[in-house]
Amino acid sequence: MDTSRKKRILIIEDDLHIAEGLKLNLVLQGYDVNIEANGISGIHKWKSWHPDLIVLDIMLPGIDGLSVLQNIRLEDEQLPILILSARTAPEDKIKGLSCGVDDYLTKPFDLEEFLLRIERLLTRMDWYRQASRHESITASVPPVFRFGTNQIDFERSMAVGQTGQISLTEQEVRLLKLFVTNKGKPLTRNQLLEIGWGYTRDTTTRTVDNFIVRFRKYFEVNPKYPQYFKSLRSIGYVFDPDAEVVETRKTLMEKLTGKSKGQGDEGA
């Protein structure tokens, strides 16, 4: 690691007056700073610029800050992220923390406090990096996740399902991580698009549906009657890894019908 490189801070804030003020003061502290005014460009900059810390507003155009946060957490559990928001209610802070934010500061804020929080988060990140040289830091998504007779190996981008071994695409891995981290929780199509792809609400939701069809073929005993990747009418989908795979009425009737035909043939 090049310790001489300035720490990079990405500010994702649509209020340019606030963003420019933060940038000025952070630059004076010796940081390298970039500003993005919406969620989509913020995600793109995070991927291309690789900042050491992100300052994130919640109320952003295109994709809201919490969706940006969850999108990043699918790939990076350790990057320090500080939410800077006008939302002051306890439930807003709890929601941010549950999505994986490291710190939450409400507007208006004290500049000195903000700078101290930034310094503290970056110091903590340096500790994590040093510790990771000697021991792995546990992430919220396990390297291998099992449900039913299926297995997903996130590190190797491989799975074992009903059709045997499966090589997963990068986007399939991202979407499966999103379902695993939200197992048992309903996810709307818009949430899946914004968090899983970084798309806006204007993108067609058929993109999500096509991936669900694919997952059902991979992991369901009977894709027509899914037990794990379930549809929720007018909402979206829910992943239930603890569901017991039971025979549907149709499957049972098919077996009974086949058995009765076989018995009839034997008696003829």
* CATH number of the domain encompassing residue 175: 1.10.10.10
CA dihedral 43, 45, 50, 53 (to 10 degrees): -70
Note whether residue 66 is domain-resident.
yes
Indicate whether 34 and 149 sit together in one domain: no
Per-residue pLDDT for 143 more than 80? Answer: yes
pLDDT of residue 53: 97
Q: Residue range 224-253: average pLDDT? A: 79
Q: Does the pLDDT at position 198 exceed 70?
A: yes
- Residues 118, 164, single domain; the answer is no
pLDDT in tens, 84-105: 999 999 899 999 999 999 999 9
For residue 203, the SS3 value is: coil
| Domains: count for the chain | 2
* The pLDDT of residue 211: 93
With b for 16 or more beta-carbon neighbours within 10 A and e for fewer, the 167-187 pattern comes to ebeeebbbbbbbbbbbeeeeb
- Residue at a domain's end among 132, 158, 173: 132
Same domain, 80 and 176: no
Amino acid (1-letter code) at residue 228 = Y
**Averaged pLDDT for residues 177-204:** 81
Distance CA 261, CA 181 (A): 46
The dihedrals phi and psi of 221, each to the nearest 5 degrees, come to: -65, -45
Sequence-separated contacts (24+) of 204-208 with Cβ below 8 Å: 208/236, 208/237
Average pLDDT of span 186-210: 77
Q: Looking at the structure, do residues 226 and 149 belong to the same domain, yes or no? A: yes
CATH number at residue 105: 3.40.50.2300
Q: Are residues 185 and 98 in the same domain?
A: no
Q: What is the pLDDT of residue 266?
A: 41
Q: Determine what percent of the chain is predicted with pLDDT higher than 90.
A: 64
Residue 200 covered by a domain: yes
Residue 31 sits in the same domain as residue 127: yes
Whether residue 148 is found in the same domain as residue 126: no
In this structure, the answer to whether residues 121 and 178 fall within a common structural domain is no
pLDDT score for 136:
39
133 pLDDT higher than 70: no
Question: What is the average pLDDT across 248-267?
Answer: 52
Closest alpha carbon to 101 in 65, 59, 139 = 65
Token output for 147: 């449900």
Same domain, yes or no, for 12 and 127?
yes
Give me the domain span that covers residue 190.
144-249
